[in-house]
């Protein structure tokens, strides 16, 4: 008779940290639901449905179009240098959308005492820095690999330089 596999339990520190995180989440949930709990639950369900039925197909389709475009240009190894800053920028846009568009500027000012001006400019600046940093990392990586500016095209394909496992 085979013995059942033991449960993969972490170290005592991991278990303690997990218990603390559950306690903190429970405390936050109790405090959050003290007010208008129905509206909060409705907001969470609506956000989950909006993400799963609308946003996920949109950004998956955009990623596939980006992938096909880079493959058509024989530049698939360049994809992460566009994908990562775009994903981070869109995540920031999603989180701060009401303030970036100015839709809740009055409520934000009333609740915090701060001005809601400048969120659009800051988001655009962060996006530019993300793409600029990605471009710097790309150029430094190309120089370090000795691929210069030849790209992934004919010279890179003949020498094998600059090609990753995916393409």
For Cα atoms 137, 84, 136, give the angle at the middle one, nearest 5 degrees.
15
Residue-level pLDDT at 107: 87
Q: Give the mean pLDDT of the chain.
A: 84
For residues 144 and 162, the model is more confident at 144
How far is the C-alpha of 84 from the C-alpha of 87, rounded, in Å?
5
Residue 71 CB contacts under 8 Å (≥ 6 apart), including other chains? 167
Q: Which of 69-73, 123-127, 135-139 is predicted least confidently? A: 69-73
Residue-level pLDDT at 7: 66
Q: Which two tokens stand for residue 97?
A: 């959308």
| pLDDT beyond 90 at 88 | yes
> pLDDT for 34-56, tens place per residue?
877 788 788 888 888 988 899 89
pTM of the model: 0.63
Q: Which of 3-12, 40-49, 111-120 is predicted least confidently? A: 3-12
As a whole number, mean pLDDT of residues 97-108 equals 88
Q: Which of 7-16, 95-104, 144-153, 158-167 is predicted least confidently? A: 158-167
> pLDDT for 13-30, tens place per residue?
899 999 999 999 989 888
Q: What is the DSSP letter of 77?
A: G
């Amino acid at each position: 008779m085979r013995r059942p596999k033991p449960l993969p339990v972490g170290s005592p520190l991991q278990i303690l940290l997990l218990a603390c995180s559950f306690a903190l989440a429970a405390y936050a949930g109790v405090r959050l639901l003290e007010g208008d709990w129905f509206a909060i639950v409705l907001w969470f369900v609506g956000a989950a449905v909006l993400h799963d039925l609308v946003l996920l197909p949109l950004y998956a389709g955009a990623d596939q179009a980006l992938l096909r475009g880079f493959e058509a240009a024989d530049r698939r190894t360049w994809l992460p240098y566009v994908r990562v800053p775009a994903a981070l920028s869109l995540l920031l846009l999603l989180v701060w959308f009401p303030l970036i568009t100015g839709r809740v500027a009055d409520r934000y000012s009333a609740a915090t005492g701060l001005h809601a001006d400048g969120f659009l400019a800051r988001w655009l600046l962060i996006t530019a820095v993300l793409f600029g940093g990605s471009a710097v990392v790309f150029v430094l990586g190309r120089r370090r690999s000795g691929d210069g500016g030849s790209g992934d095209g004919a010279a890179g394909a003949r020498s094998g330089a600059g090609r990753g496992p995916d393409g």
